[in-house]
Chain A
């Protein structure tokens, strides 16, 4: 019922964006993720936005994840032969421009799947200064989530609340260079483990007893992320970007992310070809152990079997092509995009899986009015 109401609202706004007397944009995107750990995820997405009277903005969107996991999960009693699941998400937003340089916006972002329900709220304020050479933005987000096991009653679900505040600063350095700096702090409170995962604990008794216990992680987490980046037109029709992000949190996870991309426009911007490369390295959480060993009868307060909390590194490389399909008076520009990426992850202290490689294929089409 909720999905039908949300889809109707999103469809109505999409149609409005296509027919409104004003600027607007609509787009559709489909990503297919497939890795060698037998996980496939189809992620379709549609969205539209329209600006009315040069002052009001409306946006709507729908996205989904259609998940098929056929790998054997040795620690999960719920799905020894894998699972299939669908997640739905909506995005409804509105914006107001009191003047040409300032935009205020708010969004409602709910999503749901059989074992995870999320109610997301976001608000942002953006202004341009110094003859529009400086772009300042502050945004806040609040997610009120419920986490449980698929098929079990809502009353067994547990709460997770996530709040964040972000600041970003953009600068036009010169006619061909931009600089961006962004900082975000996020607070999480509530259930953050997996309701499906069990952790093996080895006891130091003569029988070397091994028990399986539910995963348990701290209920509080504070995250900090700081990113800097620059984009530059390095030659006629050549564009280069590079960025770095530093992350740390109260679970002692520290990560570094570096990324670069290069694009070239052809035929008067009708075709854009590009490539990107991203590197990621992360330390493990303070309470993460590849193998938990304790004295007989004792359990560690925090114990997890989550590979994303282990020590790891990865690279992500991709090629992208964008082609202008049409240019007219009503629909100003229609473009189609095709993208192929390879994600190669290496888990340095996660015994069940040393690494995985995924191919992500994406297709998209967008129109601007």
Chain B
């Protein structure tokens, strides 16, 4: 199941890539907006990952991890 989903994601990415033309630097104004970037609010993202990581056994594919927490 994992290999199927991984392969599907790669195919989707390649399809996107095949149909795309590169975004030129003068077109990137909207993409640079902090609401569009994933690393513009690091403290907030870190706090959320930590809170959910202490309450769910699922981890990964979201960012950094590490450290223990006795707050289950």
Interface residues of A (CB under 8 A from B): 27-29, 31, 33, 39, 41, 43, 45, 47, 63, 65, 67, 69, 83, 85, 87, 89, 107, 109-111, 113, 115-118, 120, 122, 130-134, 139, 141, 143, 145, 147, 162, 164, 166, 168-176, 178-186, 223-228, 231, 233, 239, 245-248, 253, 255, 257, 263, 265, 269, 272, 274, 280, 282, 285, 306-309, 314, 316, 337, 339, 343, 345, 360, 362, 364, 366
User: A184 near B60 (CB under 8 angstroms)?
Assistant: yes
Contacting residues, chain A, for B23 (C-beta < 8 A): 131, 133, 172, 174-175
Instruction: Give the residue of B28, B46, B70 whose beta carbon is less than 8 angstroms from that of A172.
Output: B28
A141 to B49, CA, bound (A): 16
Take A43-B47, A65-B71, A337-B44 as given contacts and tell me if A233 and B6 are in contact as well, using a CB distance cutoff of 8 Å. no
Take A225-B59, A263-B35, A272-B35 as given contacts and tell me if A115 and B28 are in contact as well, using a CB distance cutoff of 8 Å. no
- Give the nearest-CB partner of A316 in chain B: B52
User: B50 near A248 (CB under 8 angstroms)?
Assistant: no
User: B33 near A245 (CB under 8 angstroms)?
Assistant: no
B interface, over-half SS: loop
Take A131-B22, A133-B23, A248-B1 as given contacts and tell me if A31 and B35 are in contact as well, using a CB distance cutoff of 8 Å. no
- Give the nearest-CB partner of A30 in chain B: B47
- Give the nearest-CB partner of A90 in chain B: B67
User: A253 near B57 (CB under 8 angstroms)?
Assistant: yes
User: B16 near A31 (CB under 8 angstroms)?
Assistant: no
Contacting residues, chain A, for B59 (C-beta < 8 A): 186, 223, 225, 247
Distance (Å) between the CB of A363 and the closest chain B CB? 11
Contacting residues, chain A, for B57 (C-beta < 8 A): 253, 255, 282, 285, 308-309
A interface, over-half SS: strand
Take A28-B43, A45-B47 as given contacts and tell me if A247 and B68 are in contact as well, using a CB distance cutoff of 8 Å. no
User: B42 near A27 (CB under 8 angstroms)?
Assistant: yes
Take A109-B66, A111-B67, A183-B61 as given contacts and tell me if A178 and B56 are in contact as well, using a CB distance cutoff of 8 Å. no
Given A63-B47, A183-B9, 4 further pairs, Cβ under 8 A: A111-B67, A164-B65, A172-B31, A246-B5
Question: Shortest 7 CB-CB distances between A and B: which pairs?
Answer: A225-B60, A116-B68, A111-B67, A120-B66, A29-B43, A225-B61, A184-B60
Instruction: Give the residue of A184, A274, A366 whose beta carbon is less than 8 angstroms from that of B61.
Output: A184
User: B68 near A111 (CB under 8 angstroms)?
Assistant: yes
Give 1 or 0 for each of B1-43: 1 = CB within 8 Å of chain A CB.
1100110011011001100101111011111011110100111
Instruction: Give the residue of B34, B36, B43, B62 whose beta carbon is less than 8 angstroms from that of A45.
Output: B43
A147 to B52, CA, bound (A): 20
A24 to B28, CA, bound (A): 22
- Give the nearest-CB partner of B70 in chain A: A85
Contacting residues, chain A, for B67 (C-beta < 8 A): 87, 89, 109-111, 116, 118, 120, 143
- Give the nearest-CB partner of A121 in chain B: B66
- Give the nearest-CB partner of B62 in chain A: A227
Contacting residues, chain A, for B2 (C-beta < 8 A): 224, 226, 246, 248
Instruction: Give the residue of B1, B5, B12, B42 whose beta carbon is less than 8 angstroms from that of A47.
Output: B42
